[in-house]
Structures are given as C-alpha cells and as structure tokens.
Amino acid sequence: MANAVADSLQQMKQQLDTTGPGFCLAKWKQVTMHLQNGHTHSCHHPASHHVPLEEVLQNPTALHNTQYKKTQRRMMLSGGRPSECDYCWRVEDQGNGSLSDRVYKSAEPWAKPYHDAVLNHSWDHDVDPSYVEVSFGNVCNFKCSYCSPHVSSKWMEEIQSHGPYDTSGKFNNLDWIKQQNLMPIPHNQDNPYVDAFWAWWPRMYQSLMHFRITGGEPLLNKNTFKVLDWVIDNPNPELQLSINTNLCPPREIMAQARERFKRIIGEGKVKKFKLFTSAEAWGAAAEYIRHGMDYNQWHDNICQLLTDIPGMEFTVMSTYNLLSVTTYDKFLADMLQIRQQFRRHGENYAPLHLDIPYLRYPEHQSVFIADHTVLPLMADQVTYMYQHPDVANWFPLEYNGFWPHEIEKLKRIYWVTHSHINKQRDASEAARLAQLRRDFVVFVDTHDRRRGTDFAATFPDLVDFYRRCQTAC
C-alpha cells in the first residue's frame, strides 16, 4: 500500500513537471478568503495578499482570481517558481528526492481531476475553486493569548483601548496590522467583500468539494447560518463541510447551530461534516490561554453534540505552548475519555481527532523559551500517551486510545524543546533568549493587569520559572 502511494505521488510530480518545476494545482483550485479585510491566498504557505476593491466590484471571483494571483499562475505555466511559494522550493531543493506540498496538494481528490482542465484554459481564466476556506469576519468572544486583533474583535477592543503589549516587538501593535492592510472592516458596516462572496456563491457551490468556515467565531456571524441553511436547502453529496468554532457561544446560538448540524448530518445533506475546535490545556489554564473560554462548557458541548447527533466528528486543534505544560496531562485524559465514551463497537468511526502542532509565534509564549524544569512534565505527558495507545486486538475498527501519529507529534515537540533547552548558544542567541523571557514576563504582567487574571494561582508550577525570568529582567 505504501509503495502504491509513493508511486502515485511520483507520477503526480512527473505530470506537474511536464508543465514546469513550479506548477501546482493548489494555485488554481484552493483558496482561503479573509473577507473581514479583503485578503486572499491559495495554499496556506504563501502570505495572503489584498484584493483591490476595484477588482472585486467588477468581478466577484476576484476574491480568488486576483490579477496578482493570475501572474503567479502564468509564471508557473511558463516554467517559473513564484518566490511566495518558497516553502516548497526549500523542500525540493534539498536534493534528496523529497516531495513538497505542491505534489501532495496537487494529488488530492479536490485537485488532481482538474489537471487537464487547468491546462486547457489560459492563465488569466477565472477559476472556480474546489477547496475553499472563508472567514466572514473577526467577531469573536475570545481573546486567545496568541491571537491578533485582525482575527478577534475582543482583541481589537483591548488594543484600541490600552495599546499593544510592551514587549520588544510591541505585541499586537495595530501599526503593523495597518501597514499590512489587515485592518478588518467593522462588522456593523457594509462589507463589499462579503457581498462579492454571496454574488459568487451559487456558482462556486456547484464545484465545491471542501468548504470550511473560520473566524473570528463563525457561530457569532450570521453568514455562517446563511451557509448552513443554503446547504440544507441545496444538498451537495460531494461536499465536505467544516466549521471552526470555540464552542462557547451563547447557549441559544449553540442550540440553533445544533439543530442545523443535526439536519445536515442526519439527512445526509453533504458527504461529510466536521467541527474543528481548540484547546491546549485543562481547566483554568485553558481559560487563561483562551480568555473568554469556559472549559466545562466547551467539554460539555462536545459531549452533547456527540450524544445528540450520530456521526458527528471533531478535530481538536491543540497548539502546544509554554502555558500548556502544567495541565496537558489532564487535558489528554479528557480527550481520551471522550474518544472511549463515544466510540462505536466494531465500526470505523472516530468521534474525536487530536492535532498537536507547536506554537511558533508569538515567540515569547513558545515552549522553546522554557528551561529544564518543564522537561519532566512533558516527558510524563508523552509517556501517558504511550500508556494509552490505540490497540485494536479484539475489535479492529475501534478507536480506543491515542493514535501513533498523535503520540509522535507530542514526542516531536518534547525532543525539539529538549534540544532548544540544551543548545549551546553564542552570545547573540543567548541575548535573544533572554529578551524573549523578558517579553514573557511583560506579557504575563500585562495580561493579569488588564484582564484580572492571576498567573501564579493558575500556573503554580511555572511560578519559579517566571521569577527567574523576572530576576533576569
């Protein structure tokens, strides 16, 4: 099986390279649209770029088919490699036969069947994507510690009232957001980018295979419910529909969403429906990181939806960071309990998937700035996962524990952290680490002062580390 997949990917690369070494179907068939500020990008690796208003007023599909993006497509068709796609070029230029995401993405079912159609059109053809992610606005009831004002309205309110955090990089400085043309259009004002989306939607919907709504908090945006109602009235058996949600909206909104989820799944309106939600700690620690969260409400809403709606699935995105360290074992126990409680005997069904990336930015909240005191805690968490693996000796299709790739992700974070902590640093690297630790102290002090939180009470096992950072300041 593995050899067949490898052969298929090699064939995909050869097919792409026939057109050019930079040709990638994701530039045509995948798009993420940030409608709150009119930004777009195809594939997650290139930075988003702004859609000129005059383009979208003339052509609603410019939410994806900007003139800028068309020039990148022309370069790909002419044998070039756009500089914005350097993530893939770094992989391919290693010279060891490594396959980049341009191959993996182009081989996906939402891309591969369109290879010939893409080549049969000119570079400036307006394409209808098959994989779409969209954010309708930045309205959100959370202020997650690593988030940004252009994504969260609550963050925007805080920064507008009190200014950025006084870290070395002026964390969440609006000046940078303005320079990048990322300032969101206020949710109570008309938004021409949202209008363009709905003008294009009936046509776009016909070719969709993946559609994911992000935010802000999508359940606080009326456009999310407009999409759900459209799907109910216009079933699409080829569509995989997903929503990112913090699962802590007002109860009446959660009830309205639950009824729509039940119809979409129960009546088979789409091929697959899934919710993506986030947590990276347990209890009060999770609520400190994701300010506005009620951990018990979050946990109960997962269980309630799994109880009420057969076939509901979740992916919990767990961005491991410095504040995860002290309670991540309890968080893992909760995830294991949900998976075991809602598994179906003898069925190929997983109620909950766990994705564990590590936080890279802002660096002052990354686990990599920690000292050796966190390593035993992290090692215990990896050990816990190893002690509760997905072992299917009796029921081959049951999901009883943590999957190998989930364990591997946390183990990788442990070893990268171990390497960072034990690294021999030159003077400039040592100064950089010291600065990030000072920024951590500033972040904690500002967070507690502005939000009425108590770091010492919430993270007692990190108090000594905090004091060492404070002393160094």
Q: What is the pLDDT along the chain (473 residues), one digit of tens a residue?
A: 667 878 899 999 999 999 999 999 999 999 999 999 999 999 989 999 999 999 999 999 999 999 999 999 999 999 999 999 998 998 888 877 788 899 999 999 999 999 999 999 999 999 999 999 999 999 999 999 999 999 999 999 999 999 999 999 999 999 999 998 999 998 889 999 999 999 999 999 999 999 999 999 999 999 999 999 999 999 999 999 999 999 999 999 999 999 999 999 999 999 999 999 999 999 999 999 999 999 999 999 999 999 999 999 999 999 999 999 999 999 999 999 999 899 877 676 789 999 999 999 999 999 999 999 999 999 999 999 999 988 654 444 556 789 888 999 999 999 999 999 988 888 999 999 999 999 999 999 999 999 999 999 999 999 999 999 998 76
Q: Is there a domain that residue 462 lies in? A: no
Q: In terms of domains, do 265 and 198 share one? A: yes
**What is the distance of C-alpha 380 from the center of its chain?**
26
Task: Clarify whether residues 68 and 176 are in a common domain.
Answer: no
Strands (E), 143-209: 143-144
The structure tokens 């993270």 sit at: 459
Residues 87 and 181 in one domain: no
Q: Is residue 438 part of a domain?
A: no
Which range marks the domain in which residue 308 is found? 143-426
What are the φ and ψ backbone dihedral angles of 290, each rounded to 5 degrees?
-110, 70
Secondary structure in 3-state letters for 92-129: HCCCCCCCCHHHHHHCCCCCHHHHHHHHHCCCCCCCCC
Q: Which amino acid is at 305?
A: L
φ, ψ of residue 108 in degrees (nearest 5): -70, 155
Same-domain status, 248 and 367: yes
Q: Do residue 390 and residue 353 come from a single domain?
A: yes
Residues 48 and 158 placed together within one structural domain of the fold: no
Place of tokens 């979409």: 264
Position 454 in a domain: no
C-alpha angle 5/9/10, rounded to 5°? 115
Which stretch of DSSP H or E encloses residue 461? none
Do 165 and 63 share a domain, yes or no? no
CATH code assigned at 263: 3.80.30.10
SS3 of 2, please? helix
Taking the model in full, what pTM does it have?
0.92
User: Is 42 inside any structural domain?
Assistant: yes
Is residue 441 in some structural domain? Answer: no
Tokens 């060492």 belong to 468
Inside any domain, residue 307: yes
Residue 204 lies in a domain: yes
DSSP annotation string for 214-273: ESS-GGGSHHHHHHHHHHHHS-EEEEEEEEE--S-S-HHHHHHHHHHHHHHHHTT-EEEE
Query: Looking at the structure, do residues 243 and 331 belong to the same domain, yes or no?
Result: yes
Which residue among 384, 401, 426 closes a domain?
Answer: 426
**Residue 458 token pair:** 């919430």
Per the domain annotation, does 449 fall within a domain?
no
Give the count of alpha carbons within 13 A of 325, CB side only.
Answer: 28
Distances (CA, A) of 188 to 80, 147, 177, 296, 393: 43, 22, 20, 31, 56
Task: Indicate if 94 and 188 belong to the same structural domain.
Answer: no
Helix then strand then coil, % of the chain, to nearest 5: 55, 10, 35
Residues 249 and 351 in one domain: yes
* Domain shared by 230 and 90, yes or no: no
Total Cβ atoms within 10 A of residue 240: 18
| 73 and 159 together in one domain | no
Domain total in the chain: 2
